[in-house]
A and B are shown apart, each in its own frame.
Chain A
Amino acid sequence: MTTVTSGKSMTRASDSLDAAKLLDMLRMMMLIRRFEERTAQSFMQKQIGGFCHIYIGQEATAVGSIFALNPGDPVITAYRDHGHALARGMHPNHCMAEMFGKITGCAKGKGGSMHMFDRAHHMYGGHAIVGGQCPLGVGLAFATMYLGEEKVTVCYLGDGALNQGAFHEAMNLAAIWRLPIIFVVENNSYSMGTHIARGTSMANDLATKAHSYGMHYAECDGMDVLNTYDVFKPLADSVRGSTSKAMGVKEEKGIGPAFVNCKTYRFKGHSMSDPQKYRSKDEVAQFEQKDPINSLVNHLIERNHATQEQIEAMDERAKQIALDAVKFANESPFPGVEELYTDVYSQPFGPYKVGELPIMLRENP
């Protein structure tokens, strides 16, 4: 039950990826990077309100794991969710428009930065209360098992969520019912300004968290998209479609749930208002040397999968898409005040009304 996999000792799943797929991964990481730069800028310009958590530095984690999934596998995450939404296939325009509070946003401007939902792409949200998404992820996995579907749910959490009760209850339920779910700790070492060693027991050995629930454990270098993919691809295929005798089946399938410690680093502050007094500039600089995008670029160039010119053209394209997203968000209208009373109830009463689906779903149902 307690296999440790690191992705390095096995035949690498990424070896079978062709150049086109690798370039897709790079394209997505570049898009997230350039998109997030525009997000931060738009926040500074007060076009984005509320809390805003930037994904820069962690791109390999979302991209390496989500590229290892099937399109219908449910994904759910916490509040630093722009990267997952884009990697899952959400159009950048609807992602940016949501942060601008516009009617063209994925949630018609009702959710904001921390609530990226995309039903067509099986993205079950961004959730803003730390750890609160873990039981929801277990519910998604339960539903796929209940319906007999061959799916794996991926539930992301930050290392700060490791100390929430909801996380532990979710781990326990997943384990006793062998649910097809992978809990992914995006371990960037900091829950806001608190280093993991100050807030989490056994911080230097997170395998103990998985093992205490009898759950499979794996870890990966979340700064390395290929290593992340190498760990997730075989793991997702083993977990997918798991069943349990506790739910009445005669023969159990799959390996049941798993827990992945994805070691990563955020290059920016916790949120846009973070002065970052809790870590040194040297520490940040050290991790910037391991930039996940540069690593994949070097890999591609070394293997002649791409030229420097192609890479630069791809980056220019990512910048343009991000700029277009800001333009789209800027030019979109705010929701009308009548939207206040829609989407409160599916079967409304009194002042409430049924809402129209977001334009995002009307274009891509």
Chain B
Amino acid sequence: MTRELQFRDALREAMIEEMVRDERVFLMGEEVAEYNGAYKVSQGMLEQFGPRRIVDTPISETGFAGLGVGAAMYGLRPIIEFMSWSFCLVAADQIINNAPKMLYMSGGQFGCPIVFRGNNGAGGQLGSTHSWCVESMFATVPGLKVAIPSTPRDAKGLLKAAIRDNDPVFNLESERMLGLGARGDRDFSRYLHGKWAPPSVEEDSDFLIPFGVADVKKEGTDCTIVTAGRPVHFALEAAEHLEKEGINVEVIDCRTYRPLDIETIVRSVKKTNYCVVVDQCWPFASIASEIAMQIYERAMDDLDNKVIRVNNDDVPAAYSFPLEQEMLPHARKICEAVRSAMYVA
């Protein structure tokens, strides 16, 4: 039976299960406790775990992000919530200098088992400063792991794995996805049928999705679409349109960008001979550019055309609804890219 479970519930289940399992895990961030979470991800957790383990912070990202790193050095396993990844920029020194490099700079003496998580990506008419997509910026940093779930099932499995991981993990969620799944998966995408909800704790308390293992969200034969996070849904929407045109695409969800499961991507490209990479970052030096390059390095001779990238438009995110929607790597752009890749006029 399919569980009716929202994306935000899946994140909460992951955190609760891991906090019950391991006393060293705590959640800290703005409005996570008494307000029950700015986006209700941590609803009820203060009541369950108390103020020692569900900790409200002032608006002080450098302070509490760094606190998390110090606590992790001492052996705790912090979950630090950024209300938005856009706000992490003021904490850059802590999250990209201290967290990922502590193990290396200390010659292996002090690891940093920490999860930074929060909303990533545009789509809520918040304007440019609140609409950052950080995956291209951060997946370049050695020492970090970057997860970017697209379904409640993956959200739970990846976050549980992240909390148990001994390295710093950035978990990139999306406020546009938190409410997805309110009515189960039936009305969402038929391609995800049976792949939507994670098992409950009674069914599997160790439901972990390993990092570096991509998931084929839709099998197909004609063209490979590589993506992750919210754009997985854009790609599946495009797949439905293209199916009507007789084009059967394969949609690969990377699930983690670092590590990247390039083997699964290459295996698919060798089958379809065409490839479109969709990523919600800006195109210059993007995740899409990197994946395209890695495909060329491994499967140049199997390609019947160049790899086509679909990104955010190369402009700041606008406020106005139609402008913002047009900027995203949406289904129409993906359909056009697939047709172009396959020489379909």
Is there a chain A Cβ closer than 8 Å to B342's Cβ?
A: no
Task: Evaluate contact between B103 and A247: CB separation under 8 angstroms.
Answer: no
Given contacts A108-B108, A129-B93, A343-B108, contact A134 B66 (CB under 8 A): yes
Task: Evaluate contact between A107 and B75: CB separation under 8 angstroms.
Answer: no
Given contacts A127-B98, A132-B97, contact A346 B110 (CB under 8 A): no
Question: With a CB–CB cut-off of 8 A, which chain A residues contact B145?
Answer: 345
Given contacts A146-B71, A346-B167, contact A138 B103 (CB under 8 A): no
Question: With a CB–CB cut-off of 8 A, which chain A residues contact B110?
Answer: 117, 119, 124-125
Task: Evaluate contact between A172 and B105: CB separation under 8 angstroms.
Answer: no
Task: Evaluate contact between B67 and A166: CB separation under 8 angstroms.
Answer: no
Chain A residue at smallest Cβ distance from B75: A143
Report Cα–Cα, A117/B111, bound state, in Å.
12
Given contacts A170-B63, A349-B259, contact A342 B94 (CB under 8 A): no
Task: Evaluate contact between B26 and A146: CB separation under 8 angstroms.
Answer: yes
Q: How many residues of B contact A (CB 8 A)?
A: 48
Contact with B along A128-144 (1 / 0, CB 8 A): 01001011111111111
Task: Evaluate contact between A358 and B109: CB separation under 8 angstroms.
Answer: yes
Question: With a CB–CB cut-off of 8 A, which chain B residues contact A355?
Answer: 107-108
Report Cα–Cα, A132/B164, bound state, in Å.
26
Task: Evaluate contact between B106 and A346: CB separation under 8 angstroms.
Answer: no
Task: Evaluate contact between B73 and A124: CB separation under 8 angstroms.
Answer: yes
Is there a chain A Cβ closer than 8 Å to B50's Cβ?
A: yes
Tally of contacts, chain A with chain B, CB under 8 A: 161
Q: Would you give the shortest CB distance from A349 to chain B, in whole angstroms?
A: 4
Task: Evaluate contact between A136 and B73: CB separation under 8 angstroms.
Answer: yes
Given contacts A117-B110, A136-B70, A136-B98, contact A347 B142 (CB under 8 A): no
Given contacts A135-B94, A136-B73, contact A169 B62 (CB under 8 A): yes
Question: With a CB–CB cut-off of 8 A, which chain A residues contact B259?
Answer: 349-350
Task: Evaluate contact between B67 and A107: CB separation under 8 angstroms.
Answer: no
Is there a chain A Cβ closer than 8 Å to B212's Cβ?
A: yes
Report Cα–Cα, A146/B142, bound state, in Å.
30
Contact with A along B92-127 (1 / 0, CB 8 A): 011001100011111111110100000000000000
Q: Would you give the shortest CB distance from B257 to chain A, in whole angstroms?
A: 12
Question: With a CB–CB cut-off of 8 A, which chain B residues contact A246?
Answer: 51
Report Cα–Cα, A132/B101, bound state, in Å.
13
Question: With a CB–CB cut-off of 8 A, which chain A residues contact B165?
Answer: 347
Report Cα–Cα, A176/B51, bound state, in Å.
13
Interface residues of B in 47-82 (CB under 8 A from A): 50-52, 55, 57-58, 60, 62-76
Report Cα–Cα, A138/B68, bound state, in Å.
9
Question: With a CB–CB cut-off of 8 A, which chain A residues contact B74?
Answer: 74, 139-140, 143-144
Task: Evaluate contact between A172 and B167: CB separation under 8 angstroms.
Answer: no
Question: With a CB–CB cut-off of 8 A, which chain A residues contact B211?
Answer: 349
Task: Evaluate contact between B212 and A358: CB separation under 8 angstroms.
Answer: no
Chain A residue at smallest Cβ distance from B73: A124
Given contacts A173-B63, A343-B108, contact A142 B71 (CB under 8 A): yes
Question: With a CB–CB cut-off of 8 A, which chain A residues contact B142?
Answer: 344
Chain A residue at smallest Cβ distance from B66: A135
Contact of A347 among B26, B60, B62, B166 (CB under 8 A): B166
Report Cα–Cα, A282/B135, bound state, in Å.
54
Report Cα–Cα, A77/B69, bound state, in Å.
15
Report Cα–Cα, A144/B67, bound state, in Å.
12
* 4 nearest CB pairs, A to B: A139-B70, A135-B66, A169-B63, A107-B107
A residues near B (Cβ < 8 Å) are 74, 76, 105-111, 115, 117-119, 124-125, 127, 129, 132, 134-144, 146-147, 165-166, 169-170, 172-173, 176, 246-248, 342-347, 349-350, 355-358, 361
Pairs A–B under 8 Å by Cβ, sample size 26: A74-B74, A76-B70, A115-B105, A129-B97, A132-B98, A136-B66, A138-B66, A138-B67, A140-B70, A140-B73, A143-B76, A146-B26, A146-B71, A165-B62, A166-B93, A172-B60, A173-B57, A173-B64, A176-B58, A247-B51, A247-B52, A345-B167, A356-B108, A357-B107, A357-B109, A361-B109
Known: A140-B70, A349-B259. 12 other contacts (CB 8 A): A107-B109, A108-B107, A108-B108, A118-B109, A132-B97, A136-B94, A173-B58, A173-B63, A246-B51, A248-B51, A355-B108, A358-B109
